[in-house]
Amino acid sequence: MEAVTKLDVDAVRADFPILKRMIGDRQLAYLDSAATSQKPVQVVEAMRRFTEHSNANISRSVHTLGAEATEAYEGARARIAAFIGAPSADEVVFTKNSTEAINLLAYAFQNGSLDPSADPRFRLGPGDEIVVTEMEHHANLVPWQQLAQRTGATLKWIGITDAGRLDVDSIPEVITERCKIISFVHVANLLGTVNPTSQITARAREVGALVGLDASQSVPHLPVDVTELGVDFIAFTGHKMLGPTGIGVLWAKADLLEAMPPFLTGGSMIKTVTMEGTTFAAAPAKFEAGTPPIAEAVGLAAAVDYLDQLGMENVRAHEKELAGYMLERLETVDGLTVVGPRVPIGRSATVSFTLEGVHPHDVGQVLDAEAVAVRVGHHCAKPTCVRFGVTATTRASAYVYNTHEEIDRLVAALGQVRKVFG
């Protein structure tokens, strides 16, 4: 079965020293990449080389290091633009993470709503509607809730079916002529659902709404091409795609970036400043106030190089294989219920579940004693938990370096949980 995937997992694992880590007397089985991925030596090395050799602030100094740092940072932007199929590097805005990228977008609407001369696409008020889904990470829910509260717009959402899929039948009803922005998750971090985008983008075109995609869990795991997706914005975060923490991306179409009011203001984002007022630089600089995460951008570019070398189609195939195996093996555990799609179609290798009579915290603790690292809790998706009538789940998530054997260890460790809690 493994022959169908073209990933040489042993070779991949050799690039991740942390996977050799012992927890107690057992080797780590890291099944928590949906929370954050591990980083290969290539990423750490690229950041170290930059820091030791070329570190300087960007776009400010004429000295050699300043020029090298600027080139490294802008080179990283171009690298990431190519990775997601963006027509221009200027459409890539670096942020701190996905959360900041989504806030940048939500604040463009908020600031636009306060400015009568702003582009009407970014002006919201009572009667306007914002649409999300019931399966959002809090990062793609709370900023929109706040925006709705502050502008008087109405927040609506597309529900979830019992099978853990978006209720696409309700799309025409939820997304109306009043809708100005739809922001939804591409791959859900609790359920593992991969959402189809075409029905939503088609409906958005019909009603003239903009579309944002929270791609935090898709860009790391699937080939993502922004022109093929036909959306207006995507957000993703470096640390979930083999890159460092402290860097994320907002991609947006050039004409939208031009129309959007800035979020954070200050140095590096201006054209001219007087005591009376300021004019802003063109995008992406307009959205990158202050000294950006420079070494982190270099690290993210190295992560993207690494993923490209593996081939995103191969990454997807490897994870599809692991998702199928994980679902099949978990179904054999007594009292275990998968929360989310139960078939490896249209889903990621992130599987949430409950174990009858045992709280996820206790599951996670026993698994840790077996050196199996999973996440437990509400996974920053409380409304999804409520939808499925649970307060928390245990979630195992796989990535390029995970093996069938690690999934076997997860299943064996779940047997251990039963022993402790009877």
Partner 1 sequence: MNLDELYQEVILDHYKRPRGAGLREPYEGESHQVNPTCGDEITLRVHVDGGTIGDVSYENVGCSISKASASVMYELVNGATVDDALARLSEFTELMNSKGQSEGDEETLEDAVAFAGVSKYPMRVKCALLGWMAFKDALVRAEASIPGRTDA
Ligand X SMILES: Cc1ncc(COP(=O)(O)O)c(C=O)c1O
CA–chain centroid gap for 82, Å, is 18
- H or E, element range at 185: strand 179-185
129 binds, among ligand X, partner 1, none (CB under 5 to 8 A by kind): none
Does 23 interact with partner 1 (rule: CB under 8 A)? Answer: yes
Q: Which of 118, 270, 380, 390 is catalytic?
A: 380
Residue type for position 170? S
Residue written as tokens 């080389």?
49
Does 418 interact with partner 1 (rule: CB under 8 A)? Answer: no
Which residue in 33, 217, 397, 403 binds ligand X (CB under 6 A)? 217
Nearest approach in angstroms of CB 160 to partner 1 is 18
Nearest approach in angstroms of CB 100 to ligand X is 7
Which residue in 3, 24, 52, 275 binds partner 1 (CB under 8 A)? 24
Closest C-alpha among 326, 413, 325 to residue 373: 413
Nearest approach in angstroms of CB 220 to partner 1 is 23
Nearest approach in angstroms of CB 377 to partner 1 is 4
- The 361-390 site mask, x for binding partner 1 (CB under 8 A), equals xx--xx-xx------xxx---x--x-----
Print the SS3 string covering 283-346.
Answer: CCHHHCCCCCCHHHHHHHHHHHHHHHHHCHHHHHHHHHHHHHHHHHHHCCCCCEEEECCCCCCC
Does 359 interact with partner 1 (rule: CB under 8 A)? Answer: yes
Q: Reading across the β-sheet that carries 179-185, which strands appear in turn?
A: 92-95, 248-252, 233-237, 210-214, 179-185, 129-133, 154-158
377 binds, among ligand X, partner 1, none (CB under 5 to 8 A by kind): partner 1
- H or E, element range at 235: strand 233-237
368 binds, among partner 1, ligand X, none (CB under 5 to 8 A by kind): partner 1
User: Do the beta carbons of residue 124 and residue 180 sit within 8 Å?
Assistant: yes
179 an active-site residue?
Answer: no
Nearest approach in angstroms of CB 99 to ligand X is 3
Does 191 interact with partner 1 (rule: CB under 8 A)? Answer: no
Count the site residues for partner 1 by CB under 8 A.
19
What residues numbered 59-118 form the site for ligand X, per CB under 6 A?
97-99
Round to whole Å and give the CA distance between 324 and 65.
49
SS3 state at 362: helix
Residue 331 sits at φ, ψ, to 5 deg, of -60, -20
Query: Tokens at residue 271, please?
Result: 């054209």
Nearest approach in angstroms of CB 92 to ligand X is 17
- The 366-385 site mask, x for binding ligand X (CB under 6 A), equals --------------x-----
Catalytic residue annotation? 380
Q: Residues interacting with partner 1, by CB under 8 A?
A: 23-24, 359-362, 365-366, 368-369, 376-378, 382, 385, 391-392, 420-421
